[in-house]
Structure 1
Amino acid sequence: MRSAVFSFFRFFHAVSGRRCVGSTFRSFFLPLSPSAARAFLLAALFMLPGLGGCGLLAKGGDAGPQAADAQQAETGGEADPAWQGTPIPYTLRIEVRDKSSDENGLEGKMKDASQLAQLAKEPPDSLLALERRARADTESALKLLHSQCYYDGKASFSLDEAVSPVRVTLLLEPGPRYSLGRADVRYDPAPEVPESFKNRSRETGFWGLERETLPPPSFPPVLPGVTVGRPVTADAMLAAVEALPERLRREGYPLAKVADARYSLNHEARTLNADILVRPGPPALMGTIRVQGAKEVNAEYLQRLTPWTPGEEPWDSELLEDYANTLRGLGLFRSVEAAPAEADLEKSGGEGGAAVLPADITVAEAPFRSISGSARYDTDTGLGLEGAWEHRNLFHNGEKLTVTAPLATEIQGIKAAFEKPAFLVREQRLLASASALREDTSAYRKMAGNASAGLDRRLARQWWGGISLFVESGSLKDNENSEHPYGVVSPRANLRRDSRNNVLNPSSGSEVEIKLTPFTGFYQESFSAMAGSVAASVYYAPLRDKAGRPDDRLVLAGRVEGGAMAGSALRNIPSSMRYYAGGAGSVRGYAYQALGPRDNEDDPLGGRSYQIVNLEARFKITENIGLVPFLDGGMVYTDEFPRIIGDMDWGAGLGLRYYTPIGPVRLDVAAPLRRIDGDPPVQVYISIGQSF
């Protein structure tokens, strides 16, 4: 609401025609010369302390001692509350005279802007101070009424001192609501539209194999975003005016701006009229980037990341901002600023067609090396630690090398991962990894080394795909067999769609990923199999904030996952490559890998198929604290395909979240709905990040 009142200041005088208080004072002093006026003011200032000391003027809004004594004598020994220094508690009632007008929420908006409402727990020291608050609220009420198109509105207040606490009534009389009579837009000079702007297209679809035809730039004579004949609030009008040049800056006119905006009222017709003057500026094409501040990062690498071909596409401010956001996401810079090189366009003038306009990119490099650590605790697996070292600019082209060392009950070792962005093409990454690990779980014990290499590519907006080759060799012992050497070769492919608004703490959007993993190798004998999995998660915020945007005070989150493996008997598949469920990452309330078939020793056997369901309601109690009731379900099967939504074990619990800039710290307490013999009745999980 305060933004609505603030926005109204920006065209208040043009609409209302009223003179400000300052102009009234200037009129009062007009008969005096400037020097005489200054002398008069100085004399008045010197006299004020004397007036206060003799009782004619009180300090701080209270009466002097003589005035207080006089008041006390007149009231039979009791001082008038208007002059008392004790707090005056009060209640506030906001009344809108025309109830039909309150469809626009005037009462609620007034409460948000009211000093009386905001300071209700800090009562004033006198009735005079209370009256000052009320008078300030009437001024705010008038600004509110005007900002909501009630330009004939009135506001008043009354104090009922006969009751305790004092009853304050703030009355709003909106009157008729004005509508928009005219919103004309004039362009000066008349905009040039080059031929290259009239036949525009852009790549769409997977791999950019399709092209979408774009309309030529438009110059509407009536302001878009508002409707003539309907009321338009101050916020809506200002937003529409500010959006007009931004629209032109996305369509090839980087210097477009509003040169003048005039507003007037027609009281007879009860309309608001607007006349907008726009300077479109010369047309331009997207040019090369000019980088300043990059010392260790190669400018050629930053040039490869630009999502446009220089000299071919009309200027698009949104495209430039997307590029700046890409640079911010690299982890290489503390700050990134992007702007058109306006001086170059002014020199070229754009005559004979569109000029090619460079973009100035100013960056401040951040440290490229970092050391980090993380910790987790689960009832079933105990304490887990991990340290990491990372270099984000290994060969000066944004190459990232990350080395991690997990140390936990079930896994120890070292991992290394390498990423080269913009490999061959802008939207493609080269990925490679290697690790040497020892794993010791209830299902198996393994010592092995592995390596993988592959490509990951953005296929379209929100779509990614990847291929890789994975190899692993080592020794493996499960609960049914003695230790044997084994080896695996696995080409892999995945397809992913991600529309989440935040990777660490999403409140809207969804993610879907499909994986295909054929593999072959030897264990006790040769084996080959085909594995595949599908995982999907969705996030929905049912509440809305005052601006109508999704409110993360409540987020409903759900996830389903399933996988299948065919082509080989379960006994021939190495136990480390089978499916498992149970624990923090799948079904909370059950021990790690506890769900599914068991061997003769009642240890987890693993399976060839699985399914998992996770449901959460994420409530934010404060800005940093949240509660999350959840329900998890899942099962592992020896069959090749899972039994959809059948024969599943479920766990339920309650989680606590502490939200930080790097993601929430998570504490979950869960209990199994069907307890497995020997397992604890409750499982506790502590880690960083949402569960999914």
Structure 2
Amino acid sequence: MALVAASPAAAQIAQPGSAPGKGPDSPKPAATPTPSASDTEQAQPDPNKPIIPESDFDAALPPLSDDINAPLEAMPVEAAAPAAQATTIPPITGDALPAAAAENPELTAPLTPIGSFDTQPLQSATDVKDKDLPQIRYDTTLVGLEDLGLDSQFNSLSALKDGGGKAANATQVQARAKEDEALAVRLMKSLGYYDGTAISTIEAEPGDGGRIKATVSATPGPLYTLSSITVKADPVVPANLVTHNLPLRVGDPIEAARIQGAEANVALVLPQQGYPFVKVGDRDILLDDVSARATGAYTLPVDTGPRSTFGQLVTTGDPVFGVEHLNVFPRFDQGDLYDARLTDDVREALVATGLFSSVSVEPQRTGRPGPDGTEQVDLLVRQVKGPARTLAGQGGYSTGQGIKLEGSWTHRNLFPPEGALIGTIVAGTNEQGLSGTFRRSNAGRRDRTFTALASANHSNFDAFNAFTGTLSARWSYDSTPIWQKKFTYYYGGELVGTNETVYDFAAGERRRRNYGIVAVPGQIEFDRSDSLLNPTKGYRLKLNVSPEASVSGGVHPYVRTMIEGTYYYRLSPSLVFAGRARAGSIQGIARDDLAPSRRYYGGGGGSVRGYGYQRLGPFDPNGDPVGGRSLNEFALEARYRFGDFGIVPFVDAGNSYESSIPKGSDLRFGAGIGGRFYTNFGPLRVDIATPLNKRPGDSRVALYIGIGQAF
């Protein structure tokens, strides 16, 4: 007691404090007698009196040094033993640290790999899915849009319709109905009913085992019409260019599709009329729902840009073509009024060369004055080089010609610009050959082509067996897939050396003869059809003339001619009637002085179907065709198409004759039916035909497979 009284602060430090234990394992307090009331009053402390006087507390604190960098002093530790002796922890000096306590081996053990944990979540009763649980069935009814002609659009976009009349619960049906409310409002606004409203109701269908009915009711309200049309644009030439090409009138319904189409027409037509930089701004429609009539004031800002004429071609990117060759492609002259269609035409022609991976043609402002107060615009050609080499192949089969396979390798720009080298190999049951071709496309003029050919071929048909070498050159002006021309032509020259079997009627046997042939072939064609590979209307007229001379035991000059006309008539979108007539004549030489490969033959897939290849005309005593000096052919087809497929019944007629003028008698007829599969590059054709006035030796059925229509 004396120690406590002498130093209360030290006694509290020496005797550690303790908090009352809590919990099931805390020690139970010893039983104490219940204090009396007088004892309680004496033991009650004064709440205003401090537990430890401040002077005693301050005296018990250790002295503090003013040096903040001084080492910490040793902390005395006083045990709560009866002797109350203190021990001092020695200070740590140097870099040595006391040994760490032993680690718990469970803490140093490696963690279990994450992949070994079972990540499958626990399944609760609410997660169980029963595929046999019943679904809610519902019917959808639309009211109010039928008279506006919007019911089909609504049905194609409806969330209720898309659900197929099934839903997991009524809440899902209600959510779909809310979506269809908004859909109905959007559709009405698209036609000018801007006050239109829609509401949906969900109700049980009486007497139908839980089936419900979803009804979407639409109320269009008044139709808004245009009260005024204002175009904000700079003056143009002609003055009504913008308003004339904005097909809107006061009183028209404010129909979204019609207004958008009218604005698109302005953006399309003005660049075709000299304004390449036109920009159509954002429209403003001020609705008036206060007046007696529901109207809207329409305002459209249009930035026309300068009126422009064509300037020069400039280029950037890969130098596939220089400016000199690029100037071959435009179909306009410098100073012509700008037309976006002619700009697109240049780009399409460049694409058709096949030498670009990408190419663009864009108008560029120059500030240079043009004629009639216009501004000249240059066309910037951005070139990105593409692969110049191509491997190609094609094949076919027909009765008489057998199988024919052809493969080619092409380098389209080996001799720039557009100087192509083409190697071709032909393998077939009746034909084999090799050829090399040099072709200069767009030679000094767009779509004009120069071609030089060297070839060696072997042909083995019933009519002749020939080994032929050819050198030829030709200039041509051709139609292309992007520009089908009304008038085309070609002309050139040929040198042909051939060794062929020919039946010698004087000797009564086949012999081989050598022929040297010089020819100057030419062709002109007038084309008014609507397609190169699959015409459906129009007509074509073609004339071939080839002055030639044959050298074999003498010089024999002659002229080969062929005239052909085709006509196409579309009876309906699915049915087209097509007809063809062709006649040929060779003047100035006897048939037996003419090389068999230069004679006319009938029969085959491009002639009279049903008869074998080259098997129409005169025969030798062995039953082999010998050909003639004249030919006539006729054909009629009914081309019925459904989707990507078609059926074509046909009738053909014709023959070849020994005389130089074709006859109208002794025609041979063939009939059959064909199938067509239409692709993006033309129809695939399979024809089966039979001869109607069959001769001894003719097959009953002939088969033809190829690409493109027969004519």
CA 1:559–1:217 in structure 2 vs 1: closer, same or farther (change >3 Å)? Answer: farther
Between the aligned partners of 2:601 and 2:396, the Cα distance in structure 1 is: 20
Partner residue in 2 for 1:577: 598
Q: Deviations for 1:140-198, whole angstroms, at most 9, x for unmatched residues? A: 3332333234445555566664558866666666666555444332313x34x6xxxxx
Partner residue in 1 for 2:521: 492
Partner residue in 2 for 1:125: 168
Partner residue in 1 for 2:118: none
Between the aligned partners of 2:301 and 2:327, the Cα distance in structure 1 is: 37
Partner residue in 1 for 2:363: 340
Partner residue in 1 for 2:55: none
How far off its partner does 1:658 sit? Answer: 6.8
The amino acid that maps onto 2:382 is T
Between the aligned partners of 2:397 and 2:478, the Cα distance in structure 1 is: 36
Aligned residues: 571
The amino acid that maps onto 2:362 is A
Partner residue in 1 for 2:315: 291
How far off its partner does 1:565 sit? Answer: 0.7
Partner residue in 2 for 1:521: 550
Partner residue in 2 for 1:453: 473
Partner residue in 1 for 2:417: 397
Preserved CA contact (<8 Å) 2:543 2:561: no
Partner residue in 1 for 2:346: 323
Between the aligned partners of 1:84 and 1:228, the Cα distance in structure 2 is: 61
Partner residue in 1 for 2:26: none
Preserved CA contact (<8 Å) 1:386 1:407: yes
State whether structure 2 residue 184 is matched by structure 1 residue 184: no
Unaligned runs of 5+ in 2: 1-122, 505-509
State whether structure 2 residue 552 is matched by structure 1 residue 531: no
State whether structure 2 residue 307 is matched by structure 1 residue 307: no
Q: Deviations for 1:188-239, whole angstroms, at most 9, x for unmatched residues? A: 3x34x6xxxxxxxxxxxxxxxxxxxxxx685344553344444474223212
Higher deviation after alignment, 506-515 or 353-362: 506-515
Partner residue in 2 for 1:110: 154
The amino acid that maps onto 2:155 is K
The amino acid that maps onto 1:436 is A
Secondary structure in 2 matching 1:304: coil
How far off its partner does 1:405 sit? Answer: 1.2
Q: Deviations for 1:494-548, whole angstroms, at most 9, x for unmatched residues? A: 22345666655666776553333333324566241341222436485944xxxxx
Among candidates 671, 691, 700, match of residue 681 of structure 1: 700
Preserved CA contact (<8 Å) 2:402 2:430: no
Between the aligned partners of 1:590 and 1:561, the Cα distance in structure 2 is: 18
Preserved CA contact (<8 Å) 1:580 1:596: yes
Preserved CA contact (<8 Å) 1:421 1:429: yes
Between the aligned partners of 1:654 and 1:351, the Cα distance in structure 2 is: 58
State whether structure 2 residue 488 is matched by structure 1 residue 441: no
CA 1:327–1:590 in structure 2 vs 1: closer, same or farther (change >3 Å)? Answer: same
Partner residue in 1 for 2:639: 617
1:138-287 matches, cutoff 5 A: 138-151=181-194, 153=196, 155=198, 161-162=205-206, 163=208, 179-188=225-234, 190-191=235-236, 219-221=241-243, 223-231=245-253, 233-266=255-288, 268-271=292-295, 273-287=297-311
CA 1:604–1:462 in structure 2 vs 1: closer, same or farther (change >3 Å)? Answer: same
The amino acid that maps onto 2:517 is V
TM-score w.r.t. length of structure 2: 0.70
Between the aligned partners of 1:613 and 1:91, the Cα distance in structure 2 is: 58
CA 1:507–1:482 in structure 2 vs 1: closer, same or farther (change >3 Å)? Answer: same
Q: Deviations for 1:591-636, whole angstroms, at most 9, x for unmatched residues? A: 2223344443333343412224252535354xxx524333241312
Between the aligned partners of 1:485 and 1:133, the Cα distance in structure 2 is: 86
Secondary structure in 2 matching 1:260: coil
Larger RCO, structure (CA 8 Å, separation 6 or more): 1
Between the aligned partners of 1:669 and 1:483, the Cα distance in structure 2 is: 35
How far off its partner does 1:435 sit? Answer: 1.9
CA 1:136–1:675 in structure 2 vs 1: closer, same or farther (change >3 Å)? Answer: farther
Preserved CA contact (<8 Å) 1:149 1:232: yes
How far off its partner does 1:351 sit? Answer: 12
CA 1:580–1:612 in structure 2 vs 1: closer, same or farther (change >3 Å)? Answer: farther
Preserved CA contact (<8 Å) 1:456 1:466: yes
Preserved CA contact (<8 Å) 2:407 2:425: yes
Preserved CA contact (<8 Å) 2:668 2:693: no
Between the aligned partners of 2:521 and 2:426, the Cα distance in structure 1 is: 25
Structure (1 or 2) with the larger CA radius of gyration: 2
Preserved CA contact (<8 Å) 1:581 1:634: no
Between the aligned partners of 1:126 and 1:255, the Cα distance in structure 2 is: 56
Between the aligned partners of 2:685 and 2:170, the Cα distance in structure 1 is: 51
How far off its partner does 1:329 sit? Answer: 0.4
The amino acid that maps onto 1:339 is E
Secondary structure in 1 matching 2:524: strand
Preserved CA contact (<8 Å) 2:230 2:299: yes
Preserved CA contact (<8 Å) 1:560 1:612: yes
Between the aligned partners of 1:128 and 1:643, the Cα distance in structure 2 is: 84
Normalized per residue, the structure richer in helix is 1
CA 1:437–1:351 in structure 2 vs 1: closer, same or farther (change >3 Å)? Answer: closer
Preserved CA contact (<8 Å) 1:384 1:406: yes
